[in-house]
Amino acid sequence: MPESRSSKEMILIRHGQSTANASGVWQGKLDFPLSDLGREQARTAGEALADTRLDAFYSSPLSRAFETAEIVARESGFDGDIIPVDGLIERGGGAFEGNTWPERERTMPDLIAKFRSVPEEEGWAVIGAETDEEILARFAPAISKILASHPPGSRIVVVAHGGVMRAFLRDLFGEDILTGDERAENASITRVEWPEGAPPRLTKLAVTSHLPDTTDAARPSRPNAPTSE
């Protein structure tokens, strides 16, 4: 149960590793399937929730997220419907969508230099990607609508993406959350409590203790570089 019957709890899960994550491609709104590792990650995330009562499942409709939701639901014992929500899809990546960092360095060095020279939010605009403000204009109302659809005491699972989840959590809890190029790992579990009449509480952030001991191949090793979101 959430901490009190007047609270709602949302369990935010980033999708498992996709084939694009595995090769370092920033996928954005492009649709890539889960890798074999991603399916294993989703399975272990579901097992981690097997003793938890879950009342509803929502997911981005992109296949890497929706398949993650299907696997998590199955392994956790949830037998209801998974509801796709368009507002949960990943950040559009503009010029960086569909390519790797080495490819960008080779083909667009001037754009990379400009991207690195400005604050993050300006950088998204420089490359033609969705800014955090634009993400929040669709993601936050989607979350609000999901929460409003369930009574106090509910526990709701939402499967989404690293970029949009980061923008949302930083908007709620401040810029100390997932700073720099940090993202929630694939198939990590984040928990947020919404007490009635009080601000939300971040109770767990990007927990990975349930996952196989692997490294996210998508994580960049240089400053001010977007991950393969």
For 118-176, the three-class secondary structure string (H helix, E strand, C coil) is CCHHHHHHHCCCCCHHHHHHHHHHHHHHHHHCCCCCCEEEEEECHHHHHHHHHHHHCCC
- The residues, any chain, with a CB within 8 Å of residue 109's CB and separated by 6 or more, are none
Q: How far is the C-alpha of 65 from the C-alpha of 159, rounded, in Å?
A: 6
Q: How far is the C-alpha of 69 from the C-alpha of 14, rounded, in Å?
A: 10
For residue 12, pLDDT over 60 is answered with yes
Q: How far is CA 198 from the centre of its chain?
A: 24
pLDDT for the residue numbered 222: 34
Report the predicted TM-score, pTM, of the whole model to 2 decimal places.
Answer: 0.92
Phi, psi of 127 (to 5 degrees): -95, 5
Q: Would you call 15 a catalytic residue per the annotation?
A: yes
All structural domains of the chain: 1-92+139-161+176-191+200-221 (3.40.50.1240)
Catalytic residue among 15, 130, 161, 185: 15
Is residue 218 within 8 Å of 185, Cβ to Cβ? no
What stretches of the chain adopt beta strand conformation (E)? Answer: 7-14, 56-59, 82-84, 155-160, 189-195, 201-207
- pLDDT grade, residue 212 (50/70/90)? confident
- Identify which has the larger pLDDT, 81 or 224: 81
pLDDT for the residue numbered 213: 75
Catalytic residue among 9, 67, 90, 229: 90
Q: Average pLDDT of 17-24? A: 96
User: Can you say whether the dihedral through the CA atoms of 147, 151, 152, 154 is positive or negative?
Assistant: negative
DSSP state of 181: T
Per-residue pLDDT tens digits for 140-166: 999 999 999 999 999 999 999 999 999
Q: How far is the C-alpha of 151 from the C-alpha of 133, rounded, in Å?
A: 29
Is residue 163 within 8 Å of 229, Cβ to Cβ? yes
Count CB atoms within 10 A of the CB of residue 225: 18
**What type of residue sits at position 37?**
L
The SS3 call for residue 44 is helix
Q: Would you call 121 a catalytic residue per the annotation?
A: no
Per-residue pLDDT tens digits for 100-110: 999 999 999 99
**Tokens at residue 143, please?**
């979350």
For residue 174, pLDDT over 70 is answered with yes
**What type of residue sits at position 197?**
G
**What type of residue sits at position 131?**
T
Q: Which residues pair with 155 in a beta bridge?
A: 9
